Amino acid sequence: MSENTPPLAVPEHSVESFTRSFLRELNYGRGVDLDRASANDKYFALSRAVRHYLTTRWLETLRNQHRDQAKTVAYLSAEFLLGPQLENALLAADLEDIARDALANLGEDIEELRAVEVEPGLGNGGLGRLAACFIDSLATLNVPSVGYGIRYEYGIFKQTFVDGKQVEKPDHWLHLGSPWELPHPEYSVPVWFGGHTEEATNSAEGARTWVPSWHVTAKPYNYMVPGYRNGRVNTLRLWSARARHDFDLREFNAGEYTEAVRARTFAENISKVLYPEDSTPQGKELRLQQQYFFVAASLRDFLDHVLPEDYDLHNLPNRITWQLNDTHPVIAVPELMRILVDEKGWDWADAWAVTQKVFAYTCHTLLPEALEVWPVELLGRLLPRHLEIIYRINEEFLEEVREAFPGDELRVRRMSIIAEEPGRAVRMAHLATVAGFKVNGVAELHSELLKDKVLNDFAEMWPDKFTNVTNGVTPRRFVRLANPGLSELITAGIGDGWITDLEQLRNLEPLADDPEFRRAFRDIKGANKHRLAQVLKDRDGIELAGDGMVDAMVKRLHEYKRQSLKLLHIVSLYEGIKSGRIPLESVTPRTFVFGAKAAPGYVRAKETIELINAIGRTINADASLEGRLKVAFPPNYNVTLAEMLIPAADLSEQISLAGKEASGTGNMKFALNGALTIGTDDGANVEIRKLVGDDHFFLFGMSEPEASDLQAEGYDPGAYYESDPQLKAALNLIGSGHFTGGDRDGAAGSIFASLTQRDRFMALADFRSYMDAQERVESAYADYESWSRSAILNIARSGFFSSDRSIQDYLDRIWGAKPIDQNH
Ligand code: CRA
């Protein structure tokens, strides 16, 4: 569109105008009358009508971006766990009431149409959801930015339970189409793989020529990312892989029809499915193909299409930061070097100087086994030129190390980008740390541990490179949309400024002492529990324990997160009641809610799911516990369910072993919705506790230094088992097969053995302290008046955990903080 084209007008914000848009979309877009329209037709027409209101802003944003050539943040992420789009678009466009009324006038219920949407589950857990919160905040904060990722045809699997065991079903989220994506099949980027390298055709120092052997085409799908009512609509650009040509004609003519089609399928596999691993790297070739695929397309997109043709790339650091969301996109580093040296003919030193100023790296883990490593053989076969570039980066880097620490060859080996043992492999976190101008952790404790442990050698060499940006969550989705009752109450109390300035929640503090306000808060919590109870009943036939406490542990299933410790608490309560040690009347009525997917290949995690379900079955079927204890484990925990569940929770379980959870973001969502946390001193729990205050947080367990000391001394879970009779009784009950129909060999036996013999994440060591904290929870909850005061204070003091604040920190500390050499 030329600069002079008059902008489209935003359609009028009225029921009439919206109705017209809706019907037009139904007739022209779907080719049906209202009478004959399916729910999907109506959902599409509704979504498209909402989109009209955002499109003008979107085009404006793109036009301005093109005109201003302002510094842009490109968020490179293999995952964006977006959640339902319609509600967010309605909110951003300020159309919630108008759309509801328009549909009601036509005899339609907007809630029913909303239910048609299949959420795009293009992420595993925290990391992917964080990316989605960040692009929301980037748009709301008016930052010129673009998200780049992969349009997986299949997102995170759909979890079902069969006999209590997890069974994965493919998530074909696109089977009815998606009204939110705008494909541009005519605009595509080739991505090359394989082959060999040859002597360069240009004379640049360090150049080689890559002669690749096969390629695929990356086709973009654009998604609107609307800011909250600020007129900005950013773009999320997800790439889909297509075979370069429909058929190889030679093969086709020779009668090799199936062979030709097979090659096509092979290429298109690249964007077929999200790897369902969380905090575990997938050393699979296809995974590396995915990474290079989206990164190469994204770099090309920016360099060839966003920048003006005559742009002097020496100025790139003023124009862009590529933020690397964990190591998944790190192959972008050698890719940019390759473009600058081999294609543009820059000398190596010039190219490296620019490359080092445009990438910043966020690390999301502390588990050493979660750091990505690519075998040299694999990387060299798939991307031979990139491997050469990595070798040279490493050579020069190790020279620097030797200069800084003469004679310290052990250090050189530790820091090398290339690991020698067990096989030669590229350590992607090292490459990211060497190339990035900043490296950040995702919570204070995590960033400290990165500096002191995981990346300690690097922090000693470049102390200024390291910084912290504590994670955050978007208050639009996780308070305003998920909890309309609470949002209205807050707005009635302090105005609606909190939606974009979450620190304003502080103004709620005095209201925590107002009995009226507390009563209103309790009513809302009660209504949210009823809403949850209804949904769980309809969806899964699950009953809650009356109006009792809702105690929630929702997150990926992982040993370090310690769902097993939660089970030990439940079983110990149960055992205590059954043996008469705990009087039934003294037990707080409560429903333990779990939500957790296990990676399909993670056996222990799947056994834990089986055990949760087995324990749940036993407790839920026990008539004597009716109205006291329930275990609810709805399958397929996702963003949609999170929005239903979190607002209903009283207690938030954040019980990882200290030093293992990088941040956690569920913990923030719960606090913001007025749940109290029972948690270890881990990840962002540390900051939550500091802000809300010790009196309003149930801390338990070893600190990180205590845990690592105990590990170093030699941890013996057997000693805890033997010395704590209640712990022993709970474990024995599990081990005896009591919950598994007498079966001691399957999940129950395996988890019993692993906890008593190895207990890698020291659940047994923290058991006693956890039980004590649970007792404090019970007595605090008995005074629900004072509990609700604490809950309100949790909300009032959690404004820090807005992703708007995180993005502001990224702007201050990373994207804008480092003065960039204009003259380079
Ligand atoms: N699994 C961490 O474990 C953190 C998120 C987002 C994780 C969480 O503690 O809140 O990232 N790490 O920063 C990760 O994916 C590759 O590492 C996560 O989601």
Residue range 342-361, pLDDT digits in tens: 999 999 999 999 999 999 99
Nearest CA to ligand 1 atom 11: 127
Catalytic residue among 158, 242, 338, 364: 364
Ligand 1 in contact with 328 (CB < 6 A)? Answer: no
Question: Three-state DSSP class for 626?
Answer: coil
In a domain, 484, yes or no: no
- Whole-number Å distance, alpha carbon 192 to ligand 1 midpoint, is 30
Q: How many CB atoms within 10 Å of residue 505? A: 25
Annotated catalytic residue 555:
yes
Same-domain pairing of 301 and 311: yes
Residue type (1 letter), 249:
L
pLDDT (tens digit per residue) in 672-706: 999 999 999 999 999 999 999 999 999 999 999 99
Annotated catalytic residue 556:
yes
pLDDT (tens digit per residue) in 553-596: 999 999 999 999 999 999 999 999 999 999 999 999 999 999 99
Same-domain pairing of 263 and 390: yes
Same-domain pairing of 16 and 78: no
In a domain, 338, yes or no: yes
In the prediction, which pLDDT does 426 show? 98
In a domain, 804, yes or no: no
pLDDT (tens digit per residue) in 292-319: 999 999 999 999 999 999 999 999 999 9
Same-domain pairing of 103 and 186: no
In the prediction, which pLDDT does 251 show? 59
Query: What's the sign of the alpha-carbon dihedral 814, 815, 817, 821?
Result: positive
pLDDT band of residue 823 (cuts 50, 70, 90) is very low
In a domain, 537, yes or no: no
**Contacting residues for 340 by C-beta, under 8 A, at least 6 apart:** 313, 346, 350, 351, 354, 355
In a domain, 700, yes or no: yes
Annotated catalytic residue 451:
no
In this predicted structure, the answer to whether residue 485 has a pLDDT above a threshold of 80 is: yes
Question: Three-state DSSP class for 684?
Answer: coil
Annotated catalytic residue 364:
yes
Query: Ligand 1, from 440, 471, 663, 810: best to mutate by most atoms within 8 Å of Cβ?
Result: 663
- Whole-number Å distance, alpha carbon 136 to ligand 1 midpoint, is 18
- Whole-number Å distance, alpha carbon 788 to ligand 1 midpoint, is 30
Ligand 1 in contact with 324 (CB < 6 A)? Answer: no
In a domain, 267, yes or no: yes
Same-domain pairing of 127 and 165: yes
Same-domain pairing of 626 and 646: yes
Same-domain pairing of 281 and 349: yes
pLDDT (tens digit per residue) in 205-238: 999 999 999 999 999 999 999 999 999 999 999 9
Same-domain pairing of 124 and 43: no
Higher pLDDT, 584 or 6: 584
Same-domain pairing of 112 and 131: no
In this predicted structure, the answer to whether residue 248 has a pLDDT above a threshold of 60 is: no
Q: Tokens 């914000």 label which residue?
A: 13
Question: Three-state DSSP class for 531?
Answer: helix
In the prediction, which pLDDT does 232 show? 95
CA dist list (Å): 187 to 239, 446, 583: 11, 41, 69
pLDDT band of residue 801 (cuts 50, 70, 90) is very high
- Whole-number Å distance, alpha carbon 359 to ligand 1 midpoint, is 20
In this predicted structure, the answer to whether residue 820 has a pLDDT above a threshold of 50 is: no
Same-domain pairing of 404 and 421: yes
**Contacting residues for 409 by C-beta, under 8 A, at least 6 apart:** none
Output the CA angle 144-146-152, nearest 5 degrees: 165
Ligand 1 in contact with 662 (CB < 6 A)? Answer: yes
Ligand 1 in contact with 661 (CB < 6 A)? Answer: yes
Nearest CA to ligand 1 atom 19: 126
Question: Three-state DSSP class for 300?
Answer: helix
Would you say 17 and 11 are in contact if contact means Cβ atoms under 8 Å apart?
yes
Residue 449, Cβ density class (10 Å: 0-12 exposed, 13-18 middle, ≥19 buried): buried
In a domain, 478, yes or no: no
pLDDT band of residue 819 (cuts 50, 70, 90) is very low
Beta bridge partners of 550: 591
In the prediction, which pLDDT does 252 show? 59
Phi, psi of 463 (to 5 degrees): -55, -30
Mapped to the 3 state alphabet, what secondary structure does 237-282 carry?
EEEEEEECCCCCHHHHHCCCHHHHHHHHHHHHHHHCECCCCCCCCC
Q: What percent of the chain has pLDDT over 70?
A: 97
Same-domain pairing of 21 and 79: no
> What ipTM is given for this predicted complex?
0.98
pTM: 0.97
> Residue 22 belongs to what domain range?
1-68+96-118
Would you say 121 and 76 are in contact if contact means Cβ atoms under 8 Å apart?
no
Q: How far apart are CA 650 and CA 778, in angstroms?
A: 12
CATH number at residue 629: 3.40.50.2000
Q: Tokens 């997102």 label which residue?
A: 155
Q: How far apart are CA 434 and CA 334, in angstroms?
A: 12
Same-domain pairing of 110 and 141: no
Residue type (1 letter), 620:
N
In this predicted structure, the answer to whether residue 68 has a pLDDT above a threshold of 90 is: no
Query: Ligand 1, from 130, 279, 428: best to mutate by most atoms within 8 Å of Cβ?
Result: 279
Q: How far apart are CA 607 and CA 45, in angstroms?
A: 44
pLDDT (tens digit per residue) in 609-653: 999 999 999 999 999 999 999 999 999 999 999 999 999 999 999
Average pLDDT over residues 157-184: 97
Ligand 1 in contact with 127 (CB < 6 A)? Answer: yes
- Whole-number Å distance, alpha carbon 776 to ligand 1 midpoint, is 29
Ligand 1 in contact with 280 (CB < 6 A)? Answer: no
CA dist list (Å): 361 to 25, 292, 432, 465: 43, 17, 6, 10
Q: Domain tally for the chain?
A: 3
Ligand 1 in contact with 668 (CB < 6 A)? Answer: no
In a domain, 506, yes or no: no
In the prediction, which pLDDT does 665 show? 99
Query: Ligand 1, from 365, 446, 665: best to mutate by most atoms within 8 Å of Cβ?
Result: 365
In this predicted structure, the answer to whether residue 1 has a pLDDT above a threshold of 70 is: no
Catalytic residue among 338, 386, 561, 789: 561
Would you say 641 and 662 are in contact if contact means Cβ atoms under 8 Å apart?
no
